[in-house]
Structure 1
Amino acid sequence: MEWFDFSIYANFAIFFGRQLFPSTDQTSALLAAFGVYAIGFVMRPAGGWLLGVYADRHGRRAALALSVTMMSIGSLVMALLPTYAAIGLAAPVLATLARLLQGLSVGGEFAAACSFLAETAPKNRRGFHGSFLFFGTGVGLICASGMTWLLSRLLDHAQMVSFGWRIPFLVGALGSLLAFWIRMRVGETEAFTKAQRKHGDTQASLRLLFTQYGKQLWTLVGISILGAFSFYLFIVYVPVYAIHRSGAAPAVAYAASTVSLIVFTAVQPLFGMLSDRFGRRPQMIVMAAAYVVFLYPVVLSTGSTFWSILPVELFGTLFYALFTAIAPAVFAELFGTEVRSLGIGLPFNLVVALLGGTTPYLMTWLQSHGHERWFLVYVCVGSAVSLITYVLMKETAHIALRDHDHD
């Protein structure tokens, strides 16, 4: 539900841009709307820090309930927000505040969910259990895309601008309330409860994280570099790249993207199970090696037809799925229970904000100057850094989760 809520903003910005952001033309209003969209990503590191600390002090269930509540409030504000014509500058201000709240939610959600899934899974099934985090993300993205398609078929442009864009925000807010009810019905993880009893005086903090888990932090950064690039390159940017560089029709480009996203979502449990049997490192090494060798020529082969775009998308998303299926388990296996959510949330979201969040803008800028190939070289270098990390790191698939670093 959170990724559905977070994504519908971008999908429907073209309809509400001039309603909430005053401008003399549609393009300027859309740019303003996307500027506020970007703010949500800027807030992700703050969410990873604040909700990470909250999850390590008060429990995974409490943090997950809080994150989905914040997302629901943000969506409800957008659904009910009066237009600029009705309340003036309060409209863009409130829209910005709603987006800030949603950015905090997404940043904190990932770490708490990784911790919860890993701590509730059997030792030999953490990869499989953890794979459902990105399975859920994929379902949310697919539902957001499907909602966009459905409403655009049922309503004309004037109706979409008038009221249609509010419908998905209302659906998202109500769905998040259902998610809150579900989360409050599950129990706290045994690992967290045990750690609280054993180390009740230990408080999750940046000082504890940096003094006792410095090596693990740098390992997580190295692991995450390629993952951050992959999401925004293949899921967000390649359709735009196909449209502007190759002249593909938008419907064709996004049809290929949707098919690849469905495949990406479907293979998550399979790749999670494979990692439980054969280990985490082999999958990540295969992914990074494939990107280092093939990413440059594959992306440049993007054409204007469905069958020329789909192989590019499948290449990117299938190899990316080798990473996403096991990332929750790998991240959770690096840290002790007392700092697990903070240790995952802060560095991961910093990498996503600094590298992943700048990917579409940087590639668009380079493409406008005729240098898009340099961006692919940039990503290949990042792939090499992650590949080195994967080769050097220890296998974590079959270890017991850490309770405390000194145990």
Structure 2
Amino acid sequence: MLVATVLGFVLARALDKAQLASWGWRLPFLLGGVFGLVGLWLRRSLAETELFEQTKTKARKLERPLLTTLTHHPKAVGRLVGFTMLSTLCYYTFFSALTSFAVKNRHADAGAVFLALSVGTALFIALQYPMGALADRVGRKPQLLVWSGATAVVVVPLSTLLGPGVGGLLVVFCVGLGLYTAMTSIAPAIMSELFPTELRGLGIGAWYNLTVAIFGGTAPLLITLFGAVSQTLYFWYVAVAAAIAFAVILTLPETKGSELR
């Protein structure tokens, strides 16, 4: 993500609009394709966990596993959808939708937007390990409550800082992505702890990606659509999602220090 935002900054500075429209926009996709192949190569060499190896026969015998997640683990599905809704909105808002919104709706300079996003992304990377360590100390649930509650409170005021000046953009991306690390630093653990091993891959894969498709996939469309009505309506939408996620997270059991089933 950091490479992508820095590349966006470089392209916005080095190329004019005509060059970007004709061929410059293809460069990030080509680079992403290379990284995709590298990722595929890396994943082929990963070993499965002992617990998976012990239960994969049981998993293969499951009939209608997707239905089983709903009938046997409805709370897990609901919780996963609840906090993933906000997580994916945070991701697509700060890493994707805000860039074009700031340029088109708030007349921000594209180079300034990518510069601020690059700084925010560097902070996002730097905070992953400290926030993960903090969750091991204070618990998953309190950290997620702070993330969702703070996002509900600050996302609308933050949106008013989007504009031509780089200072306001830095505050928006650093605060938004800084808060988001409270979730991303522990997201794999939180999701894995919701389902038993034999249903974990499907339980997370299906419901997580469906939620991402619905809420993340529509984020760029909605920020454009809502922007034509009100400059802050989309951010109120994110704030409502954050409030819902907060209520869902309140129902989560604390799993700090426990071992996966």
Aligned position for 1:352: 212
Does 2:255 align with 1:396?
Answer: yes
Question: Is contact 2:5-2:117 (8 Å) kept?
Answer: no
3-state DSSP of counterpart to 1:397: coil
Report 1:2-401 matches (<5 A): 141-147=1-7, 161=22, 171-196=31-56, 201-202=61-62, 205-369=65-229, 371-401=230-260
TM-score, normalising length: structure 1:
0.58
3-state DSSP of counterpart to 1:372: coil
Question: Is contact 1:260-1:317 (8 Å) kept?
Answer: yes
Largest Rg, 1 or 2: 1
Tell me the distance in 2 between the aligned counterparts of 1:310 and 1:374.
Answer: 22
1:197/1:348 Cα in 2 relative to 1: closer, same or farther (>3 Å)? closer
The percent identity for this pair of structures is 33
Tell me the distance in 1 between the aligned counterparts of 2:243 and 2:9.
Answer: 38
3-state DSSP of counterpart to 1:343: helix
Tell me the distance in 1 between the aligned counterparts of 2:85 and 2:35.
Answer: 32
Aligned residues: 260
Report Cα offsets for 1:300-324 as digits up to 9, x if no partner. Answer: 1323111111101111111111111
Q: CA deviation at 1:358?
A: 1.4
Report Cα offsets for 1:101-124 as digits up to 9, x if no partner. Answer: xxxxxxxxxxxxxxxxxxxxxxxx
Structure 2: state its 5+ residue gaps.
none
Question: Is contact 2:58-2:198 (8 Å) kept?
Answer: no
Question: Is contact 2:79-2:252 (8 Å) kept?
Answer: yes
Structure 1: state its 5+ residue gaps.
1-140, 403-407
Question: Is contact 1:204-1:342 (8 Å) kept?
Answer: no
Tell me the distance in 2 between the aligned counterparts of 1:206 and 1:252.
Answer: 45
Residue 388 of structure 1 aligns with an amino acid whose one-letter code is: A
1:241/1:155 Cα in 2 relative to 1: closer, same or farther (>3 Å)? closer
User: What is the root-mean-square deviation of aligned Cα atoms in Å?
Assistant: 2.6
Aligned position for 1:27: none
Residue 222 of structure 2 aligns with an amino acid whose one-letter code is: L
Q: Relative contact order (C-alpha < 8 Å, sep 6+): which is higher? A: 2
Question: Is contact 1:281-1:395 (8 Å) kept?
Answer: yes
Residue 326 of structure 1 aligns with an amino acid whose one-letter code is: I
Residue 352 of structure 1 aligns with an amino acid whose one-letter code is: V
1:186/1:150 Cα in 2 relative to 1: closer, same or farther (>3 Å)? same
